[in-house]
Amino acid sequence: LPTHAGSSLEPQENSMEPAAALEEEVPLTAASGPLGCQLFGYVGIEAVLDQMKIKTMKTGFEFNIMVVGQSGLGKSTMVNTLFKSKVSPKASQPGQVERIPKTVQIQSVTHVIGEKGVTMKLTVTDTPGFGDQINNANCWDPIIEYINEQYEKYLREEILITRKRKIPDTRVHACVYFIPPTGHWLRPLDLEFMRRLSKIVNVVPVIAKADTLTLEERAEFKQRIQEDLKNHTISVYPQEDFDQDPDDRVLNNRIREKIPFAVVGADQEHQVNGKRVLGRKTKWGIIEVENPEHCEFPLLQDLLIRSHLQDLKDITHSVHYESYRVRRLNESNRP
């Protein structure tokens, strides 16, 4: 009988030739064991991916997103469209009037979303009232304070002598900033906010309600925004400094050419050519949200969920949180 990997190998006449042939095929996996035994056989390294997948499906993962912008730009609708669920903090009861606070009051709502056996604990943080006042001086302070508070919570759990096996992660992984569709240059408020926030969190700028602009106005407005960001040295996500290899750089360069994404949000379905699609109905036709020819919402959805979700979490942990951690530990060690 042929011998199997993991069993003790005895010198047998019938098994010497198959064993020698197998050793020649995979010499790197052969290893010397105790008492002169040899273990050989193919080791499937790709099995590690299956182990990680099974573990992730059992434990699930966390993703925290913050939306910032003036009232009336469709932040709640955009988040609901993004995750195909009612996950925004917006009042969901019909007929209920949503009151807009006069100050920036941070509101967070957590939902557990499941799909194909994978669970995601999604936390959506809204900042109603941002930029709505006549005097918007230091209106970003509550947002910065909130983001740093989440870093502080994680740091306190991390430095405990007896800490949890899995630390609850409430850190903001992505901040989607909604730019009003003015068609002109960025406002000083927009520039100052992104300049401050891009240093502590991943900022993804989008042009809200892009259907109010023509295609020519949209392209010109996007070019002006890109020039503003470059002239003021504002690094939005994905940052060039964090590209790890040439393949990532090629992909991220394509994304950077499209930023800010011109998006349209809608949470109602309409019938188009026999299919149910998400869109906004006008007397000229239906604006399909998930149609790349109508808006760039699919690019935003692809960036936040399909291609860069884990990268957003990694950069938050290894860059932004690490900078906060080093600063806090240096402060505590000063005499």
Task: Please state the φ and ψ torsions of residue 233, each to the nearest 5 degrees.
Answer: 50, 50
User: Model confidence at 4, in pLDDT bands (50, 70, 90)?
Assistant: very low
pLDDT at 314: 94
DSSP 211: G
pTM: 0.79
pLDDT at 154: 95
pLDDT at 87: 67
Task: Please state the φ and ψ torsions of residue 288, each to the nearest 5 degrees.
Answer: -80, 120
Question: What mean pLDDT is predicted for residues 134-157?
Answer: 90
CB atoms within 10 A of CB 259: 22
CB atoms within 10 A of CB 185: 13
Question: What mean pLDDT is predicted for residues 32-54?
Answer: 65
Summarize pLDDT for 155-180 with one digit per residue, the tens.
999 999 888 888 999 999 999 999 99
Angle at which helix 188-197 crosses helix 141-158, to 10 degrees, equals: 10
Q: Which 3-state string (H, E, C) describes 2-64?
A: CCCCCCCCCCCCCCHHHHHHHHHHCHHHCEECHHHCEECCCCCCCHHHHHHHHHHHHHCEEEE
Please state whether beta strands 31-32 and 61-68 pair in parallel, antiparallel, or not at all (unpaired). Answer: unpaired
Percentage of the chain exceeding pLDDT 70: 81
- 285 sits in the region (left: phi over 0; alpha: psi -120 to 50; else beta) called left
Identify the sign of the CA torsion 128, 133, 136, 138: negative
**CATH fold for domain 50-88+101-265+299-333:** Rossmann fold (3.40.50)
Q: Which of 88-92, 196-200, 248-252, 293-297 is least confident?
A: 88-92
Contact 328, 320 (CB under 8 A): no
User: Model confidence at 50, in pLDDT bands (50, 70, 90)?
Assistant: confident
Cα distances from 306 to residues 51, 56, 221, 315, in angstroms, run 20, 16, 27, 16
DSSP 182: -
Contact 22, 38 (CB under 8 A): no
pLDDT at 11: 45
Most confident listed range (76-80, 124-128, 231-235): 231-235
Domain ranges of the chain: 50-88+101-265+299-333
CB atoms within 10 A of CB 314: 14
pLDDT at 41: 53
User: Model confidence at 206, in pLDDT bands (50, 70, 90)?
Assistant: very high
Cα distances from 127 to residues 100, 218, 233, 255, 286, in angstroms, run 10, 26, 25, 26, 30
Closest CA to 316 of 204, 183, 226: 204
Question: What mean pLDDT is predicted for residues 8-16?
Answer: 45
User: Model confidence at 288, in pLDDT bands (50, 70, 90)?
Assistant: confident
